[in-house]
Structure 1
Amino acid sequence: MSSTVESPVTAVDRTAEAEQHPGRVAGEPVGFKRKARAYWELTKPRVIELLLVTTLPTMIFAQRGFPDVFVMLSTLVGGAMAAGASGAFNCYIDRDIDRVMKRTERRPLVTGEVSPREALVFSWVLTVLSLVILTVGANWLAGLLGAAAIFFYVVVYSLILKRRTEQNIVWGGIAGCFPVLIAWAAVRETIEWPAIILFVVIFLWTPPHYWPLSMKYKRDYQAADVPMLGATASAHHVSNQVVLYAWATVACSLLLVPLGWAGIVYTVVAVGVGGWFVWESHVLQRQATRSDFEDRKAMKVFHLSISYLTLLFIALAVDPFVGAPLMTFSG
């Protein structure tokens, strides 16, 4: 006759499992609120916020004022859904390495709050909806660029580059550059040089933004066998790369001035916050040569990089309303 009394050891194991991975314990129901929150977390909302920070100001800058409300909302909603679809696909693809990384061990596919099948269906639904909204609400070019963004993040970065090369974030980061092209295309129905400059700014900004984070969590990436530069190279080498990319980012951001698009607000802010970004990158470089260097110090540059990009694009949005471009626009 089998016993119906659970042993103390089994009870402890089940309690620990429930605390570490709510939703994975057999028989435990996942309520609607927790399920909805799990789907929300699949989309990586913090990444979406940063992408929207670049989208709306670019639309205002391209329009030289406020764009059509319907086009603006369609672009923001469609763009956010495209980014969410990319994030959900990435969670599905990386669910094995997320399980061994402390930074990602609470993601819904690891805890079991969302099954792999549910995540995959959710990702495809978001993809289709996002492209329909971008195409119908804005134009076909915006929709096409949205599809390209999803392709780059899911296929080029997540499936091909991430686990194969320490340059993964450099080329895979192209996906995060597409929102400015989508925004520009939504307003002007074409791609022009200012949009390309903004695209390159974000492309150059991505490594000095993400590599300091990979320095902080290098043991996570080493445990997951993911060759992020911060996990495979010395702190001194990584900090040198951060400095080079920071300088390139700031220099590229100033190209809008000779192009005849940037006014006094954007120019002053780009120089000011750019100088701040470069200075702190050099501080990190000096600290990285010390024997007592701690990886957490790199997080200052990580957080600063977010402030830099946010302030730069806020200035981009304000610029059209304050004075004229410093140089005559000939486009």
Structure 2
Amino acid sequence: MPNSTQTRFTPPYQESELLYNNVTGYNPAQIIMGRNDQFNNTYDLFNATLAPAAEVTLDQKYRVELNTIKFQDIGDSEIGTYNMSDEIFTLYCNNSEPYYERDDASLISLSNSIVDPGDNPVEKAKKIYDWVSDNLVYNGGLPAQEMGALWAYTNLQGDCSEYSSLMITLLRIQDIPARKVTGFLISNNPSLRPKAGDVWNFYASDLGSNMLGHAWMEYYVPDIGWIACDPTWSSATGYFNSIDFLRFNLNVGANFFFPPSFTMSEFSNPVFVHSGGLYNFNYDIKITVLASNLLPSGSFPILLIVFIAVGVAAVLITLIIIIKRSRKKEGAY
């Protein structure tokens, strides 16, 4: 949603267009398309009751443009003044919440020890980014459940969620709005240079997945906007104040409300909530590169890649979800 409180001034490192959307295989009890949450994420909801061995299929196609964005040499004169009454502070700064314990005394002490009082927001972000990257040890064997900032600091380890949560929390303590971004990677090789015609196939099911889920973060600077960083990838050519074309942003924010009555700290894609019987699911994504104007590796201007998915004679991202119930049950949204 352009020019909203949550997105204003955000650089266009991802622009998406939904080309096709269809749900088949059942008579929906309720379907809500294009719903916006408080963080400005757009999503679809549906629920249904399926007979034994029946299935429902969601088929979507997107055209997505990804850009590499890098902010360099931001000076004091370019940085505006924070409006502390802005909704951004309510959503992304003022409140201590699960996994972002900005009121914890040990985290407050840590944050204040990393930065200097005279630092501008970008200088504070760089010092916090460096501390998180230098002091946490990556642990890819953690459970899927998010552990949070305080746990990461206490244990000095984490995966991408903990790296991002700790950086976000330390920034919020300095009254700098910050938020998590979650999505997935087409590759964890930062030297990859996609070209037109390249294809990737990803899947997730009740039996396993080859999707490269990932989390990174953004912080807000007045008169600049939201600036993306990836503290987990700090050693890979530097991801402070920069983001590349290897990741798909699925949502921003945290502790999402999910019908009928609970919240999720990180919003996976898709999400199933059910009562009663068991079910199987298959989630397939095919990504095809439509066009690319990438420069040789080592250069870092604004770059553009256009992705698209199957089913159309050019490019799209195709998302196909098939949910099969083993016996009659009702799925809630």
Choose between structure 1 and 2 for higher RCO, CA contacts under 8 A separated by at least 6 residues: 2
More helix by share: 1
Give the TM-score normalised by structure 1. 0.28
TM-score normalised to structure 2 length: 0.28
Decide which structure has the larger Cα Rg and report it: 1
Q: Name whichever structure is richer in strand by fraction.
A: 2
